[in-house]
């Protein structure tokens, strides 16, 4: 059994853990009390994904908020970006989404948003955690206890309206694309087919879009988990396939041949489309592919890199007034005119718009990107393991030209890069390697994994080699 601390984690997006012994209703209630105390009362938005633990934890969170004098707006089961848009648009004091995103179903989490509908920054998160540890919660009197209101309709309408303003929806509707969808029975299961079918006039072929059923596959939408979507695309002759994680912020894309694109390449296509309209700075995290640098260079734009985590990317995007950003390795696209959050709906709309504007299919658009080969893997980590890995890693790669310790350790080699960091959401160390040659990527990854395995147990690696 892993150490207790590894099954409950406080990170850039909030608090996350395995439900039961570690993430309990009492703990969720206490964090909600800290949150309600921190925002100072007023309206707080609460929504969730479709995990079986969601209703239980939502009741606990609502109790904690009411106890501090907050009014609760229950928006029901919705994608995380939709909740974030609603928080900002309605002038709420903040929001909480109950979702563990791409983690397995036994996990759940409290994702915490400020009044702008953004993840708490480092300062806000630090103050909130201090409140929690001190149990310095406001106690509302009987007269001050708030109410729970329901608003299940307006949030999707607000979100979709913002997305449609930035594409030629008329052209997309006229093309009547056939699109396959895998909703993993998550928070996007109802909203995505309606968005594509009703708002964009696509013929939708949907699987795993029943929010009453459990996740039918690994929650993270990766090439090795989307075989059913790929088969559906081929069987129905779809123009594209779209897949979500359980809370709908991540997007995976399948071309018309049934090939699942690497998430970094999906981000690259959207960045290319955005910079074509409005050149400007781009922000991505350290593990995002160098293909983004190539795309930005083509448009004469600058790329900024941050630590992994949506909050880190968004904070830098605000500072440099970036046109677009994201986290390629996890399928996260962030387009500020819609909202400063990872948004799969913006990604789907941009790709359909790009197909209309260029007359090209997804496979042709993908073939036009610079070629890179990537491999990712994980190692189970013990306490303090990353420090031991980082200490010896530079000696293990003496050919490195430069290093970056912003998030773990990234080494820039003459023809490649390697990156080692701790996960923000799980008790693992993540490994990533990229180069322009398949054999070189494989050689470097094996070398990196052998070195790191001396400090921990190497897990089944996720391999993605794509041009």
Tell me which H or E stretch contains 338.
none
DSSP secondary structure letter of residue 261: P
Are β-strands 70-77 and 14-18 bridged in parallel, bridged antiparallel, or unpaired?
A: unpaired
For residue 57, what are the CA distances in angstroms to 108, 265, 279, 339?
A: 9, 36, 43, 27
CATH 3.30.310.50 domain extents, the chain: 372-466
Give residue 391's pLDDT band: very low, low, confident or very high (50, 70, 90): confident
pLDDT at 455 over 70: no
Q: What is the mean pLDDT of residues 335-354?
A: 97
Q: What is the mean pLDDT of residues 187-211?
A: 98
pLDDT of residue 8: 76
Tell me which H or E stretch contains 39.
helix 25-39
pLDDT tens digits along 1-51: 344 445 678 776 789 999 998 899 999 999 999 999 999 999 999 999 999
CATH number for region 372-466: 3.30.310.50
pLDDT tens digits along 74-83: 999 999 999 9
70-84, 190-204, 366-380 — which is least confidently predicted? 366-380
Q: Helical H runs in 196-340? A: 227-236, 263-277, 291-298, 310-320
CATH number for region 4-152: 3.40.120.10
pLDDT of residue 7: 67
pLDDT at 231 over 60: yes
For residue 61, what are the CA distances in angstroms to 31, 48, 50, 52, 72?
A: 8, 11, 16, 15, 10
The rounded mean pLDDT for the chain is 92
- Please identify which of the residues 13, 52, 53, 101 carries the catalytic annotation: 101
Share of the chain above pLDDT 90, in %: 83
> Bigger pLDDT: 452 or 47?
47
CATH number for region 158-367: 3.40.120.10
Judge whether 141 counts as a catalytic residue: no
CATH 3.40.120.10 domain extents, the chain: 4-152, 158-367
pLDDT at 329 over 90: no
pLDDT of residue 382: 64
pLDDT tens digits along 354-364: 999 999 999 99
Closest CA to 57 of 68, 69, 46: 46
Q: Helical H runs in 165-222? A: 169-175, 191-194
Q: Alpha-carbon distance 88 to 240, whole Å?
A: 32
Give residue 330's pLDDT band: very low, low, confident or very high (50, 70, 90): confident
**E strand segments, 336-444:** 339-342, 372-380, 402-404, 409-413, 416-422, 428-435
pLDDT tens digits along 269-310: 999 999 999 999 999 999 999 999 999 999 999 999 999 989
100: which 2 tokens? 């563990």
pLDDT of residue 383: 63
pLDDT of residue 63: 97
Give residue 459's pLDDT band: very low, low, confident or very high (50, 70, 90): very low
Q: What is the mean pLDDT of residues 243-258?
A: 97
Give residue 464's pLDDT band: very low, low, confident or very high (50, 70, 90): very low
């Amino acid at each position: 059994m892993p150490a207790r601390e590894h099954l409950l984690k406080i990170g850039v997006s909030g608090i996350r853990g395995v439900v039961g012994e570690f993430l309990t209703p009492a703990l969720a209630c206490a964090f909600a009390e800290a949150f309600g105390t921190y925002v100072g009362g007023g309206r707080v938005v609460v929504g969730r994904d479709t995990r079986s633990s969601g209703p239980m934890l939502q009741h606990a969170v609502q109790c904690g908020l009411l106890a501090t004098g907050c009014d609760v707006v229950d928006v029901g089961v919705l994608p995380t970006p939709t909740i974030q848009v609603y928080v900002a648009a309605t002038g709420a004091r903040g929001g909480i989404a109950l979702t563990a995103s791409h983690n397995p179903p036994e996990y759940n989490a409290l994702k915490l948003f400020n009044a702008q509908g953004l993840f708490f920054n480092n300062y806000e998160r630090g103050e909130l955690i201090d409140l929690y540890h001190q149990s310095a919660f406001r106690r509302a009197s009987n007269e001050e206890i708030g109410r729970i209101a329901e608003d299940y309709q307006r949030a999707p309408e607000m979100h979709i309206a913002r997305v449609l303003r930035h594409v030629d929806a008329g052209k997309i509707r006229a093309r009547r694309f056939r699109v396959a969808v895998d909703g993993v029975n998550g928070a996007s299961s109802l909203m995505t087919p309606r968005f594509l079918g009703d708002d964009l006039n696509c013929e939708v072929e949907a699987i795993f879009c029943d929010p009453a059923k459990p996740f039918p596959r690994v929650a993270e939408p990766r090439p090795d988990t989307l075989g059913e979507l790929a088969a559906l695309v081929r069987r129905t002759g779809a123009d594209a396939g779209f897949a979500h994680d359980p809370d709908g912020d991540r997007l995976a894309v399948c071309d018309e041949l049934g090939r699942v694109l690497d998430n970094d390449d999906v981000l690259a296509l959207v960045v290319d489309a955005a910079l074509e309209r409005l050149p400007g700075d781009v922000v991505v995290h350290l593990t995002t592919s160098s293909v983004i640098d190539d795309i930005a260079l083509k448009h004469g734009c600058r790329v900024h890199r941050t630590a992994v985590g949506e909050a880190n990317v968004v904070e830098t995007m605000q500072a440099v007034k970036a046109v677009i950003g994201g986290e390629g390795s996890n399928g996260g696209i962030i387009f500020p005119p819609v909202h400063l959050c990872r948004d799969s709906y913006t990604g789907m709309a941009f790709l359909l718009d790009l197909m209309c504007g260029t007359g090209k299919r997804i496979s042709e658009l993908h073939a036009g990107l610079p070629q890179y080969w990537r491999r990712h893997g994980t190692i189970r980590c013990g306490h303090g393991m990353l420090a031991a890995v980082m200490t010896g890693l530079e000696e293990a790669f003496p050919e490195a030209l430069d290093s970056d310790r912003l998030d773990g350790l990234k080494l820039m080699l003459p023809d490649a890069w390697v990156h080692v960091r701790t996960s923000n959401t799980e008790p693992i160390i993540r490994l990533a390697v990229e180069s322009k040659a398949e054999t070189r990527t494989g050689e470097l990854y094996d070398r990196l994994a052998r070195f790191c395995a001396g400090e921990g147990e190497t897990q089944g690696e996720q391999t993605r080699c794509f041009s």
